[in-house]
Structure 1
């Protein structure tokens, strides 16, 4: 497994189950926000908000691990 993959997995492992499930479904299984919201009985805007927040956290986590915008 590559270093970047390990960094992403470490980030995902520390997330609460709901946030992890949303990120995995959106970016690994390519499910739509609408489908995720419907399946998880959530508001679409709530799913979007979680995705935005966790993406910011993931970027910060990767920068801390040496994966900046210049890499």
Structure 2
């Protein structure tokens, strides 16, 4: 667990953080820990993580599929 923040920070340094959805969870963790390490979400168990991952991937795909707004010239 002590290296979760290191991993997220390294991803930021390399410019790849926004390409991934990071979920943390399980009995020893909580929402505050997830926020502290820079995770996208905390999930209490694997079943919740699976549903959260599906939801977040769908939301990301919907966002990227939206047509661009009007261009300003």
TM-score by structure 1 length? 0.38
Structure number with greater CO (CA < 8 Å, separation at least 6) is: 1
**Structure with bigger gyration radius:** 2
TM-score by structure 2 length? 0.37
Structure holding more strand per residue: 2
Structure holding more helix per residue: 1
